[in-house]
Structure 1
Amino acid sequence: MNQIFVIGAARAGTTAIAELVADAFELELAKGKESHFLAANGIPAKSLGPSGAVFDRSRDHTISEFRRRFRSWPPSGFVDGSTSSLYYAKQTAEALNEHFPSARLIAVLRNPRERAVSAYRYLRARGFEAETLASALDLEKERIASGWPHIWHYRAEGEYASQIEALGEWRARTLFLLYETDLRDNASLIERIGDHIEMTPRRGASIARRNQAQAFRSPWFGRAMEAARSSWLAQRAPEFVRTGAAKAISPLRSSEAPEYDSEGEDALVTLVGEQAERVQALTSLPTRAAWHA
């Protein structure tokens, strides 16, 4: 059985890669946005913060819950994407060793500053984040200590080097991709993934861009829609139902991404330079050039 996990940080392109792999190699994609199962032992039992309850409803705590994301178990092959699995890399490695010892990983890395800003704007667009970026960064350690979900960890989620190191032996079975360069070339990307997972892709597969940070016209409505999207029923609804619902609410979004105060971005410059150096040394990815560090 081909077992493929796409790991990374929130707003780094993991969803697009997971969908591409499932489509190109005709593998079953886990139902629902993200299972977070590999990271389950690292995530607090109860998440707090404005989106904590929404997050807890959508994630899997046990292997039995994870298996229910598929039509039958075991499938002939599957793909799962989880934005928390690299962040909680130690727990991810432990879960892989226990449940999926023959799995292959694909990790997507994005410029830490741009990823953090994207996550911030995503939460602003859905009516969850009320602070300025600068204030949110100041509050980050307090939020983490209080059990807020990983997507609120704007700076910490971008500390890739320590996460990669924590993968241990699984690093050798991980294909590392750069959001800025690798996601732009379909043919080359699919070929590299095929070589990594030792499978031949179907013809005509291409990557899709999803999850744009457009705001709902009403913050209250945005929170309600996010709660509905992450409900148990929505996570297990057929693909055509979820696609139809997404199209139906699309007109309720504004055409522009939400405005924000960019004052806090300067605080992330040091993080970019530090991570570019360390990640390039660990993975041989050209992060210094790609992230202009």
Structure 2
Amino acid sequence: MNTFSKNNQNHLPNLLVAGVAKSGTSSLHQYLSQHSEIFMSKRKEPRFITSQVMDFPMGGPKDRKVESWYIKDFESYKNLFSEAKDESIRGESSADTFYFYEKTIPVIKQYLGDPKIIIILRNPVSRAFSAYQHLRRDEREHLSFEEALEVEYQRIRDNYELIYHYKAVSMYADALTAFLDNFSHVKVVINEELSDNPHENLKEIFNFLGVESEVEVNTATRYNLSGIPRFRYLHEMLFEGKKFMDYTRPVARFFFSAKTRKKISRTLMEKNLQRTHINEHTKIELIEYFREDIQRTEKILNRNLSHWLS
């Protein structure tokens, strides 16, 4: 059994962005990676922690492709941090770690000891609907949102990937209590606050991590956006790298730098994604469903989350 020790700690993360899925973990990962004192794994969502406790194969549409992204062996996980130099913080972001807390917390302790933990929470209704739009974007969901909510627990029993667990992933209080009880350094970030005031919130996060807090970070770009593509082939070309890109890449490389190419692709992808709106009746029903958990989360954090109930 591999366990945490002083001999291997330089090859392992001392920071986990543990979740929650579709709450801004991708964006936060990119923001943290811009800090010179922070090394974030180039591979976002390695999911090593959950791979140690998951049942495979997963049962949802295209879930086998998702499973192929999991890093399941310890040596490969350590290699994610082999390029780290003298950064005081080494981190990774796997948005499923929080949800599977009962099984993942012992694994974290086994391999990493007591790392710093960042948890980013989002309005649970918005998070659930964003997860739905994410699956519509990737052609993994063909039901209406209401129909998908009806069959959610059947899908959970059939071992669908957590992105299909719309309501269940949006329940925060129990997992939050468990992380606060088991780790010494836990920082909870509210997605809406980070979006509205990124500079102040990142300053708080950097202070929590013990790194220089007055650092310029580009927060203009949003990552891993959900939505339904207006033009499916354009989305697949930009997001999944269809063969057409093999012919256009040499031309693009000639005219544009790698940074500019990424910016152009991201802008095109964002403009191609059409965000739909949740049915008002469904929204009201979900607010009532989450009400008790939101109130418990408020007490745990001693923060006002009443805007999640409107």
Q: TM-score normalized by structure 1?
A: 0.83
Q: 1:83 aligns with which of 88, 92, 95?
A: 95
**2:164 counterpart of 1:152:** yes
Q: SS state of the match for residue 107, structure 1? A: strand
2:210 corresponds to which of 171, 178, 198 = 198
Q: Name which of structure 1's ranges 266-275 and 163-172 shifts more when overlaid on structure 2.
A: 163-172
How many angstroms apart in 1 are the aligned matches of 2:120 and 2:287? 20
Structure 1 position 217, deviation (Å): 4.1
SS of the aligned residue for 1:167 comes to helix
Pairwise mapping of residues 82-101 of structure 1 onto structure 2 (< 5 A)? 82-101=94-113
Greater length-normalized contact order (CA 8 Å, ≥ 6 residues apart): 1
Which secondary structure does the structure 2 equivalent of 1:80 belong to?
Answer: strand
Gaps of 5+ in 1: 230-239
167-176 or 65-74, which moves further after superposition? Answer: 65-74
Cα–Cα, structure 1 residues 206 and 189, in superposed 2: closer, same or farther, change >3 Å?
farther
Partners of 1:103 and 1:121 in 2: how far apart? 32
Is residue 63 of structure 1 aligned with residue 80 of structure 2?
Answer: no
What residue is the counterpart of 1:130 in the other structure? 142
SS of the residue corresponding to residue 204 of structure 2 reads helix
Which among 219, 224, 237 is matched to residue 211 of structure 1?
Answer: 224
1:5 to 6, 13, 16: 16
The structure number with the bigger radius of gyration is: 2
User: Given the alignment, which residue of 165, 170, 173 partners 1:161?
Assistant: 173
SS of alignment partner, residue 183 of structure 1: helix
Distance 1:191 1:279 in 2: 23
How far apart, CA to CA, are the structure 2 residues paired with 1:212 and 1:206? 17
Q: Does 1:37 align with 2:48?
A: yes
Aligned-pair CA distance for 1:26: 3.3
C-alpha contact 1:37 1:59 (8 A) present in aligned 2: yes
One-letter amino acid of the structure 1 residue matched with residue 294 of structure 2: A
Shift in alpha-carbon separation, 1:203–1:75, aligned structure 2, 3 A: closer
Contact 1:160/1:279 (CA < 8 Å) preserved in 2? yes
| Deviation of the 1:14 alpha carbon | 1.0
CA 93–10 in structure 1, closer or farther in 2 if over 3 Å, else same: same
User: 2:299 matched to which residue of 1?
Assistant: 281
Distance 2:32 2:269 in 1: 30
Q: How far off its partner does 1:244 sit?
A: 4.0
Verify the 8 A CA contact 1:127 1:220 in the aligned structure 2. no
| Mapped partners of 1:45, 1:243: distance in 2 | 39
Tell me which residue corresponds to 2:253.
none
Aligned length: 282
Change (3 A) 1:24 1:72: closer
Q: CA RMSD in A?
A: 2.9
**Is the 1:215–1:258 Cα contact (8 Å) retained in structure 2?**
yes
Percent of aligned pairs sharing the same letter:
18
TM-score (structure 2 length as normaliser)? 0.79
Query: Is the Cα–Cα contact under 8 Å of residues 229 and 274 in structure 2 kept in the other structure?
Result: no
For the Cα contact (< 8 Å) 1:67–1:73, is it kept in 2? no
Distance 1:221 1:80, change over 3 A: same
- Structure 1 pair 188–258 and aligned structure 2 pair: CA distance change class (3 A): closer
Partners in 2 of 1:47 and 1:227 — Cα distance? 21
* Distance in 1 (alpha carbons) for counterparts of 2:159 and 2:123: 25
CA distance in 1, matches of 2:201, 2:16: 16
Are the structure 2 counterparts of residues 224 and 87 from structure 1 closer, same or farther at C-alpha, using a change threshold of 3 Å? farther
Deviation of 1:226 after TM superposition, in Å, equals: 5.9
